[in-house]
Structure 1
Amino acid sequence: MGVPEETMGVMFTPLTMKYAYYDMELIGVDLIMKTCFSPNRMISLSSDLEQVGAASGRIQDTLSTMLQYAEDVLSGKVAADNTAGHFLMDLINQVPKIFLENFETMLNSSINDLLMMTYLENLTQSQIVLSEKILNL
């Protein structure tokens, strides 16, 4: 940028960016974002249980924020926002109605499946390492 036959200059213009990704790509996007805050720009992959724990923590934080907002509206500290109310109602209506006992059974079954897959993965890796050592003898 500049005036003809004069000193050339540069002008920086901030750009607005929006990340667009599919739900399946969320894990990769999260890993890339974590590298931004790592001092050596390297991070290790987290296990399935760590991912479940992190997701549970994010859900708990979001629910705490929503509960605090609802309590503030009911106490009169914050003015009610119809858009937020409609969003919360739509969100609540999307949650399936499951009895506590059924939910616990499904959760325990899923956790047992995950633990079994982790055990089988470790067993397979041990078998491969043992086979390689036997072949190298």
Structure 2
Amino acid sequence: MAATTSSSAKVNSAPTIATAASNVAQSTSPMLVRLHPVAIAGICDAYERRKEKATRVVGTLMGKVEGDVVEVTNCFAVPHEEGAQTPLRLDTDFAQSMMELTKRGSPQEEVVGWFSTRPNVPETSFYIHDFYVRFSNPNIIHLTVDCTAEVDRMPIKAYVCSPLGVPPAPRDPKDPSPPRFDQASLFAQVPVEIFCWDAERVGLDLITAGRLAPDRVVNIPTDADQVLQTAKLIDDMLESVLSYVDKVLKDQIPADPEVGRALMDVMGSIPKIDEEAFEKLANSSRKDVLMVMYLSELAKAQLALQEKVNILPN
């Protein structure tokens, strides 16, 4: 947690503590932040492209909110300046223009927060957070990503801003306005998890394979290669399960009731198909895959031939 108080830093126009506190007083803190790999890659790319003397990079987080879960799917950096002798300056016009442009390209995405490539939360973060609260909504998050690569893992933390203080005077129960907290605000940490869609998982697997390749070049596998890799993965899983069950039956390792229940659920979900029907189904699927591969290669050859014909003079 990190508490922030007022300072001389500015975001175009300096907001007061009371103003920001009244804005966040209406917020409902999210219980979980789901961060997608595309957003992490965008943050790291912005950090690598930062100015030479920049201490950190800040930007906007785009995504959606479902109940108490904030899903971060995209991001973009926002130019800013700050330093020991320089007041905080955030290019709010650029941020607003990029927000509108991003929403045109992805109408389902909205502003869900902002990020910083600094592991801690300095006092100037309060004013940046206040800008996003006033521009979008009070239910936004602050994400910190340590891109310095000083440790083996990349520390990622998420915060929500909550008011801290006591109302200055008794309030009328019929007064609809939110209470004002004139002392400070508190950045409270919330859990973060890395979440991947199936398409993102495929991209991550290719990136991982490229990292291990000597020439850093990876070819996209064909449908047949993917079927072969999936079959090999299933075979390895079956070998692992059989080895575990065999060791339990021989009293080499203690039995785990949770693992046993999970195996029973898996066995119960498998449909009962005889060997001949299963082999026929597998052969039919393999033929379909081979036919799709043949048609795709044929279409590529026809397109290449048509391009050659168009080049020839009349």
**Shorter-chain-normalised TM-score: which range?**
0.7 to 0.9
User: Where in structure 2 are there 5+ consecutive unaligned residues?
Assistant: 1-149, 157-192
Residue 107 of structure 1 aligns with which residue?
282
Find the aligned partners of 1:55 and 1:130 in 2 and give their Cα distance.
35
> Which structure's relative contact order is higher, taking Cα pairs within 8 Å and 6+ residues apart?
2
SS at match of 2:203: helix
- Per-residue CA deviation, residues 8-33 of structure 1 (Å, 9 max, x unaligned), is xxxx5655676421234332221122
Q: Which amino acid aligns with 1:105?
A: K
Q: Which amino acid aligns with 2:307?
A: E
Residue 130 of structure 1 aligns with which residue?
305
Residue 45 of structure 1 aligns with which residue?
220
Find the aligned partners of 1:66 and 1:19 in 2 and give their Cα distance.
27
Residue 178 of structure 2 aligns with which residue?
none
Find the aligned partners of 1:115 and 1:66 in 2 and give their Cα distance.
31
Paired residue total: 127
Find the aligned partners of 2:282 and 2:200 in 1 and give their Cα distance.
24
User: Which residue of the other structure, out of 245, 248, 258, is the alignment partner of 1:73?
Assistant: 248
Find the aligned partners of 2:202 and 2:272 in 1 and give their Cα distance.
28
Q: Which has more helix, going by share of residues?
A: 1
Find the aligned partners of 1:19 and 1:57 in 2 and give their Cα distance.
26
User: Which residue of the other structure, out of 19, 39, 62, is the alignment partner of 2:237?
Assistant: 62
CA shift for structure 1 position 59: 0.8
CA shift for structure 1 position 101: 1.7
Find the aligned partners of 2:205 and 2:270 in 1 and give their Cα distance.
25
SS at match of 1:109: helix
User: Which residue of the other structure, out of 271, 275, 285, is the alignment partner of 1:96?
Assistant: 271
Find the aligned partners of 1:21 and 1:94 in 2 and give their Cα distance.
25
Larger displacement relative to structure 2 (41-50 or 61-70):
41-50
Find the aligned partners of 1:82 and 1:19 in 2 and give their Cα distance.
28
- Per-residue CA deviation, residues 58-97 of structure 1 (Å, 9 max, x unaligned), is 1101110100000000011111111111111111111122
Find the aligned partners of 1:111 and 1:53 in 2 and give their Cα distance.
11
Find the aligned partners of 2:259 and 2:227 in 1 and give their Cα distance.
27
Give the structure-1-normalised TM-score: 0.82
Q: Which has more strand, going by share of residues?
A: 2
User: Where in structure 1 are there 5+ consecutive unaligned residues?
Assistant: 1-11
